[in-house]
Amino acid sequence: MNKTLKEGKDFNYNEKGLMVFTASYLMDRGYCCNNKCTHCPYSNTENTDPNHSHLPDNHK
């Protein structure tokens, strides 16, 4: 996904000044990276292959 990220839509900054992706951005990305993202919409995934989608049941 090559696009310009938009603050407030794709990410926000937390209280420590770190960029935090939104659940919407992570869902659009299409896979779980297993980095325990704060707003990760995926659950119980262990495959880090970006070519393998792990969509939650309500998004299949």
Task: Give the pLDDT of residue 44.
Answer: 56
CA–CA gap between residue 44 and residue 54 (Å, rounded): 9
Q: What is the pTM of this model?
A: 0.65
Q: Cα 15 vs. chain centroid, distance in angstroms?
A: 19
pLDDT in tens, the chain (60 residues): 578 999 999 999 999 999 999 999 999 998 888 888 889 988 655 545 554 455 555 554
Whole-Å CA distances, 42 to 4, 30, 37: 23, 9, 10
Nearest-5° Cα angle at 56, 58 to 23:
95
Task: Give the pLDDT of residue 60.
Answer: 45
